[in-house]
Amino acid sequence: MTTLSPIPTDGPHVVHDTALNLGDVVDVLLLRDYNTMLVVLATVVLGLAAGAIGTFLLLRRRALMGDALSHAMLPGIAIAFMVMVAFGGSGKSMPGLLIGAAVTGLLGVAAVLAITRLTRLKDDAALGVVLSVFFGFGVALLGIVQDMPEGSPAGLASFIQGKTASIVRKDLWLILIVAGVVALMTVLLFKELALLCFDEAFASVQGWPVLTLDVMLLTLVTAVTVVGLQAVGLILIIALLIIPPAAARFWTERLGVMLALAALIGGLGGWIGASISALVPRLPAGAIIVIVVATIFVASMLFGARRGVVARLIVQARLGRTVRRQHLLRAIFEHVEAADAEDAEPIVVEATLVQERSWSRAALRRLLRWARRRHLLAAVGDGRWRVTDLGLTEAARVARNHRLWEIYLIHHADVAPSHVDRDADQIEHVLGPRLVRELERLLEPAHPAGTVPPSPHVIGPEGG
């Protein structure tokens, strides 16, 4: 029976008493303490690199590849250890272990790609098979290593959980070099990787070496994962690859901006997380960093400017309001049209309007108040409203758009006249002015500008 050593539990521990004083906080945040500086710098740079390269992974829908990759590194570490011991070394040379990790990591990625290409299994099963089998193999090998007379592999297990607290100068240099290479490559290959992410088929038709680019991308990911492994651990480096890009995606539709934002979020997470871990005893730095970036993710998901939930709700609410207002205008037009044309005063009655659509009395009243503010209607009292000239023009414009669509659908899309009302309703509100002009050009001869064609179907509750 063998057990692997328990996880390292803490950050660099600048302070041990529970009460925090401001001086300590400032010291840590400004990197005044040498040890803390190393740790914070390392995690910041790691966060920057992981966020940047993770962007491409996310857009290529390969987010979980980092998961398989990092798990597949475990057997490599064990094998490297055994090989180094066999050649008389101590087995703990960091570069050797990392090379071993990178080799089996890449093998794991190749296995995932091979399984999806050669069998009928989908990528989820391929990822699951590879990560669990490779990791299991690694666990078995580590068990053997621990039992070998030659070497005590204490510290090998720290790869699984990370040992953020004990980052030393050498580790920082390694992370800086890898991050530098990743940054350089993302700048040099920006156009190619973007093409790979957005339109792989087009890239290959254009003669780009898609497979080579894919391999380069995964190699860069491997490099970041390998150095991240010892800094924040196996599970948490996956988080740094996935979460910052996913959070950045809520803020922008542009790749360059997303890349920068993801790197920024990753770096910020590293800075805040490592600092908290340094200030509060018994907080594992890796986990805190992940929780910080996850918090940024949740905030971005809610409040992101482009794809955030709130932003989308606002857009939807706005559209809903526009639609309701257009419905009111069309109902007004249909009423005026149905009323006697000789009638001097175009009047609409609230009690009849409310039957027109499935709107509540309160909602209709809100709409009518809006129409009055816009001088489209004027109250005559007693629930009756006079349509102003402006209101008539606006109502005619909305009704005209609706009927042009209906006519277009009947003649060009073979929709039955009795069904056309709802189909047109779904489309008319989202039409841009350009499409309306196009529609008018198509139907111009029969329905010259400024006129409202007669409705092609029966209007009213029965006509639909």
Which CB sits closer to other proteins, 139 or 392? 139
Taking the C-alpha atoms of residue 75 and residue 176, their distance in angstroms, rounded to an integer, is 25
Q: How far is the CB of 258 from other proteins (least distance, A)?
A: 13
Cα atoms in the 13 Å half-sphere on the side-chain side of 89: 14
Residue type, 160: I
Question: By the 8 A CB rule, do 145 and 16 touch?
Answer: no
Which CB sits closer to other proteins, 92 or 307? 307
If phi over 0 gives left and psi between -120 and 50 gives alpha, with beta otherwise, what is residue 448?
Answer: beta
Q: How far is the CB of 208 from other proteins (least distance, A)?
A: 23
Which CB sits closer to other proteins, 160 or 227? 160
Taking the C-alpha atoms of residue 174 and residue 186, their distance in angstroms, rounded to an integer, is 18
Question: By the 8 A CB rule, do 256 and 59 touch?
Answer: no
Buried/exposed 339-351: b ≥16 CB within 10 Å, e otherwise? eeeeeeebebeee
Which CB sits closer to other proteins, 134 or 385? 134
Q: Which is nearest to 111 in space by CA: 194, 218, 200?
A: 218
Q: DSSP code of 10?
A: -
Taking the C-alpha atoms of residue 146 and residue 88, their distance in angstroms, rounded to an integer, is 16
The total of other beta-carbon atoms located within 10 Å of residue 393's CB is 13
CA 93 to chain centre: 39
Run of H or E including 15: none
Question: By the 8 A CB rule, do 387 and 346 touch?
Answer: yes
Taking the C-alpha atoms of residue 19 and residue 23, their distance in angstroms, rounded to an integer, is 12
Q: How far is the CB of 252 from other proteins (least distance, A)?
A: 14
Q: DSSP code of 383?
A: T
Taking the C-alpha atoms of residue 105 and residue 108, their distance in angstroms, rounded to an integer, is 5
Which CB sits closer to other proteins, 18 or 360? 18
Q: How far is the CB of 120 from other proteins (least distance, A)?
A: 6
Which CB sits closer to other proteins, 182 or 285? 285
Q: How far is the CB of 239 from other proteins (least distance, A)?
A: 3
Q: How far is the CB of 130 from other proteins (least distance, A)?
A: 9
Q: How far is the CB of 64 from other proteins (least distance, A)?
A: 4
Which CB sits closer to other proteins, 235 or 427? 235
Question: By the 8 A CB rule, do 162 and 227 touch?
Answer: no
Q: How far is the CB of 443 from other proteins (least distance, A)?
A: 35
Which CB sits closer to other proteins, 37 or 133? 133
Which CB sits closer to other proteins, 221 or 407? 221
Which CB sits closer to other proteins, 79 or 368? 79
Cα atoms in the 13 Å half-sphere on the side-chain side of 464: 10
Q: How far is the CB of 422 from other proteins (least distance, A)?
A: 23
Q: How far is the CB of 311 from other proteins (least distance, A)?
A: 12
| Helix, strand, coil abundance in the chain, percent, nearest 5 | 70, 5, 30
